[in-house]
A and B are shown apart, each in its own frame.
Chain A
Amino acid sequence: MAVQVYTEEELFNSALGYFRLTFQGLDLSDNGFLGLLARDFARFFVLAQQEILQVGNDSVPAYQQDADGQIRSKCSSEALDAWAFVFGLPSGTPGVYGRRGPTISTGGIGVPGTTLAPIVIPAGSQANDSTGQVVVQTTATLTTNGPPNNLPIQFVSVSTGTAANLPAGSVLTWTSPPVGLLPSVTLTSGLAGAKDRESDSDLVARLLRRIQQPPRGGTAADYRTWGEEATDSNGAPLGLTRCYGFPLRSGLGSFDLVCTYAGSGLGRRPPAGEIAKAQTYLNRVRPVTATVNCMAPGMPTGLRIRVRVKPSTAKTGAYLYDWDDGSAFTFITAATANTVTCAVVPATLGAALVAGQKPRIQILISGAGAGPIPFIARVLTVGGTTLTLDRSFTVLPVAGFDYFYAGSSVVVPIAERIRDYVDSLGPSRISSYADPNDVWEDRALLERIENIVLETRDSDGTRMVTELPGHLINSTQIAVGLGAFAPGSYRPNDLLATPPELTYLRDGGIEVVS
Chain B
Amino acid sequence: MALQFTGRDLALKRDPLTGKFDFVISSSGPNKGNPVLDDTRTHAVLTSLMSRKRGSRMGSAPQGGYYYDPTGSRGSLIWTIGQDKLSTPSQLKAYGEDVGARLVDAKQIRSYRVSAARIGSGKFRLDFAWTLLDGSSVNPVSVGA
Q: Which residues of A contact B (CB under 8 A)?
A: 12, 23-27, 29-34, 36, 39, 42-43
Contacts and interface: CB of A to CB of B under 8 A. Distances in A.
A29 B73 CA distance: 14
Contacts of B67: 39, 43
Nearest to B5: A25
B91 interface: no
A32 B44 contact: yes
Given A12-B68, A39-B68, A43-B67, A30 B9 contact: no
A32 B74 contact: no
A33 B5 contact: no
A26 B9 contact: yes
Contacts of B41: 31
B108 interface: yes
B103 A24 contact: no
Contacts of B106: 29, 31
Contacts of B43: 31-33
Given A31-B103, A39-B67, 19 more contacts: A23-B3, A23-B5, A24-B5, A26-B5, A26-B8, A26-B9, A29-B108, A30-B66, A30-B68, A31-B43, A31-B44, A31-B47, A32-B9, A33-B9, A33-B10, A34-B9, A34-B10, A36-B47, A43-B67
Contacts of B74: 30
A282 to B, nearest CB: 59
Contacts of B3: 23
A314 to B, nearest CB: 34
A32 B8 contact: yes
A36 B69 CA distance: 11
Contacts of B108: 29, 31
Interface string B5-18: 10011100000000
Contacts of B103: 31
B80 to A, nearest CB: 20
Contacts of A23: 3, 5
Interface string B25-44: 00000000000010001011
26 contacts: A12-B68, A23-B3, A25-B5, A25-B8, A26-B9, A26-B37, A27-B8, A27-B9, A27-B44, A29-B106, A30-B66, A30-B69, A30-B74, A31-B44, A31-B48, A31-B106, A31-B108, A32-B8, A33-B10, A33-B43, A33-B47, A34-B9, A34-B10, A39-B67, A43-B67, A43-B68
